[in-house]
A and B are shown apart, each in its own frame.
Chain A
Amino acid sequence: MVAITKNKMEKLREDFPILSRKIHDKQLIYLDNSATTQKPIQVIDTIIDYYSNYNSNVHRGLHKLSEEATLKFEEAHKKVAKFINADFKEVIFTKGTTESLNLLAYSLSNQLKKGDEIVLTQMEHHSNLVPWQQIAKKLGLKLKFIKIKNDGTLDLENNPINKKTKIVSITHISNFLGTINPVKEIGKIAHENNALFIVDAAQSVPHLPIDVKDIDCDFLVFSAHKMLGPTGIGILYGKKDLLNEMQPFNYGGDMILEVKFEDAKFNELPWKFEAGTPNIAGAIGFGATIDYLNKVEMNNIREHGKELTKYAIKKLSEVKNLEVYGPLDPEKRGSLISFNLINIHPHDIVSLLDDHGIAVRGGHHCAMPTMKLMGLTGSVRASFYLYNTKEEIDYFVETLEKVKGVFK
């Protein structure tokens, strides 16, 4: 199955102005999509249009501009909600995945007490580890981890979830190993033990069709900028009854209905969790991003990503002295590949690839404990998105051989 045809691909690439940029006189090849993705002109234009034509605050003014901005702002919430099959009230706009996870950790900590347990995995991004770590320290909670097996998948048979577990928070796709975790299965175990189930979907919503009802998660978090959208805007999805029970994280304007000097009544969902003037341009830009992704269709994006990843793994396996981390089966892996060349430091590889216009990530990928567990200090990571091509992967692998030549 050819996910995105060559013709369609050429057209699609034209939507991304940055892809025609030269880096050191070479054509840019952008393979750092797990860090952030490039933006299509449709999203850029939407943001320009907002600032040029109807910039104003939302939910306050009764004038025309505010009316228009509010409409678009709320429309963006609806688009995102539909995109993940949630209700409008269940989708809260935040700064991004990190803020969403912090919001959850702080707000849910009101319901936790000493001795309660939180279960994470050994492959979490720092943003799904440090917030829990800090509330655990403060409240005397216990953190437990689902272990990683040698093949880069989770050891669910020996999972530490039990009746003391109050929260299970796991990444859907590891940003370092690329592993796609069986979230439905883990959610079931969590719920059997009456624990809340949180999915860090920062790496999965951009690449897979996601249905929160099908996953049956209690909360799910992700960022716009990893899926063609602007930075500084992200999502906290939560089941309505749970969000209603929770204490707000930020207090201030827009999140209240009525304020007295001594007390305040909070606004209804989702505004209860969106205090202060929000990132309006980002939200409206995110709305345009969802339109764009719907046009390409998430199924096509997944197929294209799988095809590129499969191709890249095959090509990389032909490079001598190169080791790939995580599952090799493209069905079990997102569109990213972490690897090392023996005896060459990731930063040296990244610098030399940059000479050829190739942008990849090198380092610990915000997963220091996972790296240490595997006896590594860093790796190189190439990550793909809908605008990448097999030709780019060919050039990338050829250039890797040249990098090896420098160190010979």
Chain B
Amino acid sequence: MNDFMNQEMYLEHILDLYKNPLNFGVLDNADFKERCFNPSCGDEVEIQVRLDNNKVEDVKFIGKGCAISVASASLLTDHIKGKSLDELKNLTKEDMIKLIGIEVGPARVKCVTCSLVSLREGIKSLEDKNVRS
């Protein structure tokens, strides 16, 4: 039997993404960026997105967090490349859980969705800005 039950949460691919995150860094000429802060653990994820024709041309993230939140941000940023803003708006918590492919307890759902919250907020402020201008 496995020594850690939660180790289901800490599968090899999650740990790899934690040690070597995808799309980690600062993006030049981002069209929008947004930071999500999880007060219960101090996790911070900032997503930066550059668009081309309303599609995601490039995306990066910076921040710090637990293995689950860093792996989730890696997978989300990879997933949304080339997708349209409308497609992004439809992303749900369930999509995130599917993307990362592990079972998480209620206490850790926020770690999974931190990057998604950043993305949603970013799109919202971009749209607000467009409406105003």
**In the bound complex, what is the Cα–Cα distance between A33 and B7 (angstroms)?**
26
On whether the beta carbons of A351 and B108 are closer than 8 Å, the reply is yes
- CB-based closest 8 A-B pairs: A377-B42, A345-B66, A347-B66, A355-B4, A378-B42, A355-B6, A351-B6, A355-B5
Q: Is A268 an interface residue (CB 8 A)?
A: no
For B68, the chain A residues whose CB sits under 8 A away are: 347-348
A254 within 8 A of B: no
Contacts of B39 in A (CB 8 A): 364, 368
Q: Which residues of B contact A371 (CB under 8 A)?
A: 42
Could you tell me if B43 and A406 are in contact, using CB atoms closer than 8 angstroms?
no
Q: With contacts defined as CB atoms under 8 Å apart, how many contacts are there between chain A and chain B in the complex?
A: 61
The answer to whether residues A364 and B42 also contact, given A348-B68, A377-B64, A407-B15 and a CB cut-off of 8 A, is: yes
Please determine whether B9 and A351 come into contact, CB atoms closer than 8 angstroms.
Answer: yes
**B interface residue numbers (CB < 8 A to A):** 3-7, 9-10, 15, 18, 39-44, 64-68, 108, 111
A368→B108 CA distance, assembly (Å): 20
Q: Which residues of A contact B (CB under 8 A)?
A: 24, 345-348, 351-352, 354-356, 362-364, 368, 371, 376-378, 402, 406-407
A377 cross-chain contacts in B, Cβ below 8 A:
41-44, 64
Q: How far is the CA of A378 from the CA of B111 in the complex (A)?
A: 14
Bound-state Cα–Cα, A355 to B10, Å:
12
Which among B7, B18, B39, B41 has the highest number of chain A CB atoms within 10 Å?
B41
For A355, list chain B residues within 8 Å (CB): 3-7
Are A406 and B4 in contact, CB atoms less than 8 angstroms apart?
Answer: yes
Enumerate chain A residues within 8 angstroms of B111, measured Cβ to Cβ. 347
Q: Are A348 and B10 in contact (CB under 8 A)?
A: yes
A352 in contact with B10 given A345-B65, A406-B4, A406-B15 (CB within 8 Å): yes
Contacts of A368 in B (CB 8 A): 39, 42
> 18 A-B contacts, Cβ less than 8 Å apart?
A346-B41, A346-B66, A347-B43, A347-B108, A351-B6, A351-B108, A352-B10, A355-B3, A355-B5, A355-B7, A363-B42, A364-B41, A364-B42, A376-B42, A402-B3, A406-B4, A406-B15, A407-B18
B41–A378 touching, CB < 8 Å = yes
The interface residues of chain A lying within 8 Å CB-to-CB of B40 are 363-364
Task: Give the Cβ gap from A154 to chain B, nearest Cβ, in Å.
Answer: 24
Distance between Cα atoms of A366 and B47 in the complex (Å) = 26
CA distance A261 to B65 in the complex (A): 58
A376 to B64, CA, bound (A): 11
Give Cα A346–Cα B111 distance, bound, in whole angstroms. Answer: 12
Task: Report if A348-B67 is in contact (Cβ < 8 Å); known contacts: A363-B41, A364-B42, A377-B43.
Answer: yes
**Residues of the A chain whose Cβ atoms lie less than 8 Å from the Cβ of B18:** 407
What separation, in Å, do the CA atoms of A371 and B42 have in the docked complex?
A: 10
User: Which of A351, A352, A354, A378 gathers most chain B CB within 10 Å?
Assistant: A351
* A352 / chain B contacts, CB cutoff of 8 Å: 4, 6-7, 10
Q: Kindly list 5 other residue pairs between chains A and B, CB separation below 8 angstroms, not including A347-B111, A363-B41, A378-B41.
A: A347-B41, A348-B66, A355-B3, A364-B41, A368-B39
Query: Which residue on A lies nearest to B105, using beta carbons?
Result: A351
Closest to A364 in B: B42
Q: Residue of B at shortest CB range from A407?
A: B15
Tell me how far the C-beta of B18 lies from the nearest C-beta in chain A, rounded to whole angstroms: 8
* Cα–Cα distance between A24 and B15 once the two chains are bound (Å): 22
Chain A nearest Cβ from B41, distance in angstroms: 5
A352 to B3, CA, bound (A): 10
C-alpha spacing A218/B4, complex, angstroms: 50
